[in-house]
Structure 1
Amino acid sequence: MPHITLNTDEPGIRGLFRFRPETALPLNGLVEALLCGPGTLTRGERELIAAYVSGLNECRYCYSSHAAYAAEQLPEGMALVEQVHDDIDGAPVSAKMRALLDIAAAVQRGGKQVTDDLVSAAQAEGATDVEIHDTVLIAAAFCMYNRYVDGLATLLPDDPDFYASRAKRIAAHGYLGVLQQETIRE
């Protein structure tokens, strides 16, 4: 049961966007830029970072959502997402991706936990300054999103199909495209 009375029964952040619609566009704009905009990391890799941080924060709604979005856009699908979540050290990701996930985990613990050694390790594996920047910002943003969703005790669907069906729409249209579709349907 949410901590506040929402004007919808939509789960997670979607219910919060309905409650304060003026926040939906800027928050979706940020996630669109970070996860769907141009970049050398694939959309699936960027979603994997979001899912990983959400898992570390134990935010079930955001983890389930972004795990599904990552799985939809990664050739290895949900198997890889779950391996990263369950055992990052044993997950079959590139050395560069592992170094970026190490940076994301450091951000999740606290911004000052990102060290020169972590950044140097990522650079040694070929990570660019933009990739390191975006990893830090994705991790920081998802700490905020996770705390927003969990801090207000939003509704949480248990059905994996809920997340998988939305993943197809996010992969096809992006966050702003889906937001626009949902706004038009009202």
Structure 2
Amino acid sequence: MAFINLQNDLPGIRGPMQYSPETGEALNELAEILLHDDNNTLSRGEREMIGAYVSSQNDCFYCQNVHGALAQYYFECDMQLIDDIKKDYESTSISPKLKALLSIAGSVQKGGRHVTPAQIEHAKNLGATDKEIHDTVLIAAAFCMFNRYVDGLNTWAPQDRNVYVERAAMRAKEGYANIDLNK
């Protein structure tokens, strides 16, 4: 049960967003720009993976499964690969550039000052652009906020991970802007 009366029984971030639609709208617009917008050289899957990875580091069950399922959908892989990336991305078959970006995201999750010049240089040497590094840092920072919003209010989350996988195609199609929180 949520710590406050959200006046709805929606799971995860959807409950507080419906409770406070003015902030929910702004947060969804941010998510749309960061994760779904096509004006980005990082794929949607890569951006969702960054969000899922940071959420796993923050131990936010809801967000790591929502965004992990979306990464799985975009990568056209099974959830085992997503779980492997969250657990130890260095030993997975993802690109070296994404590994470097996940390293940066993991440092942001600990605190912005944990990002090092060596991490940035490494990512650039692997082809990451300034915009991709910027977006990685912003996605990681935003997910720290999203995770704390969800867990700080003690919202509930479906424990069946298939629920997230089944919804991923719909969310991938619809995006985050103008989200119907009742779906």
Q: TM-score range by the shorter chain?
A: over 0.9
Work out whether residues 99 and 121 of structure 1, in 8 Å CA contact, stay in contact via their aligned partners in 2. yes
Root-mean-square deviation (CA), in Å? 1.4
Distance 1:174 1:7 in 2: 25
Work out whether residues 70 and 77 of structure 1, in 8 Å CA contact, stay in contact via their aligned partners in 2. no
The farther-off stretch of 85-94 and 32-41 is 85-94
- Structure 1 residue identity aligned to 2:10: E
Offset at 1:79? 2.8
The farther-off stretch of 168-177 and 119-128 is 168-177
2:158 matches 1:157: yes
Q: Which residue of 2 aligns with 1:109?
A: 110
Q: Which structure has the highest helix share of the two? A: 1
Query: Would you say how many aligned residue pairs link Structure 1 and Structure 2?
Result: 182
- Structure 2 residue identity aligned to 1:101: L
Q: Which residue of 1 aligns with 2:46?
A: 45
- Partner of 1:93, secondary structure, is coil
Distance 1:44 1:87 in 2: 17
Runs of 4+ more than 4 Å apart: none
Q: Which residue of 1 aligns with 2:137?
A: 136
Work out whether residues 68 and 78 of structure 1, in 8 Å CA contact, stay in contact via their aligned partners in 2. yes
Distance 1:175 1:66 in 2: 12
- TM-score w.r.t. structure 2 length? 0.95
Post-superposition Cα deviations, 1:47-82, rounded to whole Å, max 9, x if no partner, equal 000000000000001111111111111133423211
Distance 1:86 1:97 in 2: 15
State, as a whole percentage, how many aligned pairs show the same letter: 48
Q: Which residue of 2 aligns with 1:79?
A: 80
Q: Which residue of 2 aligns with 1:94?
A: 95
Offset at 1:97? 0.6
Unmatched segments (≥5 aa) in structure 1: none
Distance 1:118 1:86 in 2: 19
